Chain A
Amino acid sequence: MGKYWSFFKMRLMAGLQYRAAALAGMSTQFVWGAMEILLYRAFWLEHPERFPMGMEALSNYIWLQQAFLTLFAMWNWETEILESVKTGTVSYELLRPTDIYGMWMARSVANRFARAALRMVPVIVVSSLLPAPYGLRLPASPAAFGLFLLSSALMVLVVCAYSLFVYALTFYLTDPNGIMVLSVAAADLLGGAVVPLPFLPDGFRQFAALTPFGSMQNVPLRLFSGDIPLSEAPAVMGLQVFWITVLISGGYLLTRNGLRRAVILGG
């Protein structure tokens, strides 16, 4: 375990160096969050009773989404891993006495943490100063907060395991761009990135929640303000664990076979 923790630390340190990117990202997130709130506000004022979420819960959702964006955004790929698979230099990683999948996982998680760590505090502080119901408010209950943290950790694993699955597919494809673009689009729509899932039509909504994308930001962001009630937490978090298991075992097998192939063909 020690060496994977070291990979984690290394990637975290490297990630913490990009101050300019963090600054640019942060300002984008303020503007984006504010625009979304204004847009939803217009609908909400028209028919508050037909709104599928409370305005306060929605504001929490949007601000937390902006604060932790890089933690779960599908487009936040670890390009170094992708490049190494595409060009075949990944075989040089075999010069180290480590398991490549474990190392990739440590790096991906660290990359997301590093990027989020630099951005989240200012977004959380400023958005909690905004007037109700448009600002970030406290979680529904201490229990909801605890579940928010736990399901956030699970979410990071779902997102990273999914990314690693895509990286592993790269062993078998000439160009992974297609599958990446598709993944980003699917995660945007089915994961509640563009529009929170409660706003999606009946039927489609339930389907989206069952996909791996529905086990990403959708779960912690809605648990936070009680939009997913505590009683449903075991079910949604159980589904997260299910997807983690499936994606990790699939990705692990794909990686192992892919590497074997690279070793036989010559990187």
Chain B
Amino acid sequence: MIEMKGISKTYRVRRREAGLGNAVRSLFSREYTEIPALKSMSFTIPDGQIVGYIGPNGAGKSTTIKILSGILRPDGGMCSVDGLVPWEDRREHVARLGVVFGQRSQLWWDVPVMESFLLLRDIYRVPEGSFRENLERLTGLLDLEDLVRTPARMLSLGQRMRCEIAAALLHGPKVLFLDEPTIGLDAVSKLKVREFILEQNKLCGTTVLLTTHDMQDIDALCSRVLLIGKGQLLLDGDTAQIRAMAGENLSTEESVADLYRRFGI
């Protein structure tokens, strides 16, 4: 179970006007602007749910994911994932967690994907038996037979993303965070990734938190949607509710933009 209660996070950003004079002045006194990324964010996600986390750029989606993954410490509030506080019990917490950042790779660039898998096995101390089992299942479902012998840098984006997802699941995590997992993928790869996420959720009861800008992802995967804007939770409901608000054509850009406008974000 994932619980967030009154989590807030403010970034301090250094600002100055352009120009030499201002550059010299900033040597002596620096001006900071406080940018609130999250303002008292609260929600609860029970085990086994697939939750879509949506909102415009800068809404605080990534900040939330980072806090829940234990790589960012909030300024205030309480948070626990299966009874652990992510940033305090980091090592124990991340051992039960799988994360895929669509914009980043966790595979080692220059070696065949299989080598990365084996290293992950050692890092997470996955017993050989369950490693083989997971690997076989993931390879079959995601079509990886040929890919695992290829160096990661030679894979296409779609191929790499499938390997990334497999890499995040080798240790059989209870909770999976996906940060824009279908970004930049073609139609076939998108369908494959979605199909797999559903399969994984059904078979292993994995809890999935998914951020995306692609409403088709939400439509196809999520039973529940959290809409956030300007660091606040604006709507917590099922996909049908969102669809009702956005009009039937949730998947079109216009209706989503319209939805965001309605909430003034």
Pairing of A with B:
yes
A residues at B contact (CB < 8 Å): 2-3, 5-7, 10, 13-14, 17, 89, 91-92, 94-98, 263-267
B94–A263 contact, CB under 8 A?
no
A-B contact count (CB 8 A): 68
Q: Give bound CA distance, A89 to B105, whole Å.
A: 11
A263–B108 contact, CB under 8 A?
no
B residues at A contact (CB < 8 Å): 9, 11-12, 63, 66, 69-73, 87, 90-92, 94-95, 97, 99, 101, 104, 106, 108, 110-111, 115, 118-119, 122-125
B66 in complex: contacting residue of A7, A89, A266, CB < 8 Å: A266
The 6 closest A-B pairs by CB, nearest first: A6-B122, A97-B95, A97-B91, A91-B71, A94-B71, A3-B123
A94–B95 contact, CB under 8 A?
no
B108 in complex: contacting residue of A14, A89, A91, CB < 8 Å: A14
Q: B115 to chain A: which residues have CB within 8 Å?
A: 10, 13
A10-B108, A14-B111 as given contacts; A94 in contact with B123, CB under 8 Å: no
Q: Give bound CA distance, A92 to B177, whole Å.
A: 13
B69–A95 contact, CB under 8 A?
yes
Give chain A nearest CB distance to B68 CB in angstroms. Answer: 11
Give chain A nearest CB distance to B152 CB in angstroms. Answer: 11
Q: Give B74's nearest chain A residue, CB to CB.
A: A264
A263-B72, A263-B73, A266-B66 as given contacts; A96 in contact with B108, CB under 8 Å: no
A97–B92 contact, CB under 8 A?
yes
Query: Could you list 17 further interchain pairs (A-B, Cβ under 8 angstroms) beyond the known A97-B92, A97-B123?
Result: A3-B122, A6-B118, A6-B122, A6-B123, A10-B119, A13-B111, A13-B115, A14-B108, A14-B111, A17-B111, A91-B71, A94-B69, A95-B97, A95-B106, A97-B91, A98-B91, A266-B66
Q: A267 to chain B: which residues have CB within 8 Å?
A: 66, 71-72
Q: Give bound CA distance, A6 to B117, whole Å.
A: 11
Give the one of B72, B92, B104 with max A CB within 10 A. B72
A263-B87, A267-B71 as given contacts; A92 in contact with B104, CB under 8 Å: yes
A92–B95 contact, CB under 8 A?
no
A91-B71, A266-B72 as given contacts; A6 in contact with B124, CB under 8 Å: no
Q: Give bound CA distance, A2 to B63, whole Å.
A: 33
Q: Give bound CA distance, A13 to B151, whole Å.
A: 12
A97 in complex: contacting residue of B9, B87, B94, B108, CB < 8 Å: B94
Give chain B nearest CB distance to A115 CB in angstroms. Answer: 14
Pairs across A and B, CB under 8 Å, 19 listed: A2-B125, A3-B123, A5-B122, A13-B115, A14-B111, A17-B110, A89-B104, A92-B101, A94-B69, A94-B70, A95-B70, A95-B71, A97-B94, A97-B95, A97-B124, A263-B72, A265-B12, A266-B9, A267-B72
Q: A10 to chain B: which residues have CB within 8 Å?
A: 108, 111, 115, 119
Give chain B nearest CB distance to A111 CB in angstroms. Answer: 12
B72–A91 contact, CB under 8 A?
yes
A3-B122, A3-B123 as given contacts; A14 in contact with B110, CB under 8 Å: yes
